[in-house]
Amino acid sequence: MNSLSVTPALSTVANRTVPSAIRPTRAREPALKLTRREIEVLKLVVQGMSSKKVADMLFVSKRTVDFHLANIYDKLHVSNRVQALNRATRLGLIPYEVQISE
């Protein structure tokens, strides 16, 4: 018998599903890439700026900013600005900065 062969009993055990309580939620997240402009937009948006204000600062239309936001939400698998901030900081795409107002 070949020492590399797997017995039926072992292959059955190896193919069993792992209970969800001990299974990792995500094996390994794929590398996520935001464009330079998407990061610029995200940084301004998380500072509390409206799409119109961001557009004025970047010399683009509000529609362009909204297009970038839609791409950001899609890439981060989120549906709003707060979720985008949380996910982007967790992934290290933007730095987390605590600002204390005096």
- Where residue 47 sits, what CATH number does that domain have? 1.10.10.10
Q: Is 51 helix (H, G, I), strand (E, B) or coil?
A: helix
pLDDT in tens, the chain (102 residues): 555 555 455 444 444 544 444 444 444 555 678 999 999 999 999 899 999 999 999 999 999 999 999 999 999 999 999 999 999 999 988 887 655 455
The answer to whether residue 22 is domain-embedded is no
**First-last CA distance in the chain:** 76
The answer to whether residue 88 is domain-embedded is yes
What pLDDT shows up at residue 96? 73
**Residue entry with tokens 């970038």:** 68
The answer to whether residue 46 is domain-embedded is yes
What pLDDT shows up at residue 71? 96
The answer to whether residue 25 is domain-embedded is no
The answer to whether residue 15 is domain-embedded is no
Count of domains observed in the chain = 1
Domain range spanning residue 69? 32-94
- Cβ contact 69:52 at 8 Å: no
The answer to whether residue 101 is domain-embedded is no
The answer to whether residue 102 is domain-embedded is no
The answer to whether residue 90 is domain-embedded is yes
What pLDDT shows up at residue 54? 97
Show the CA angle centred on residue 25, arms to residues 20 and 87, nearest 5°: 150
How much is the pTM? 0.64
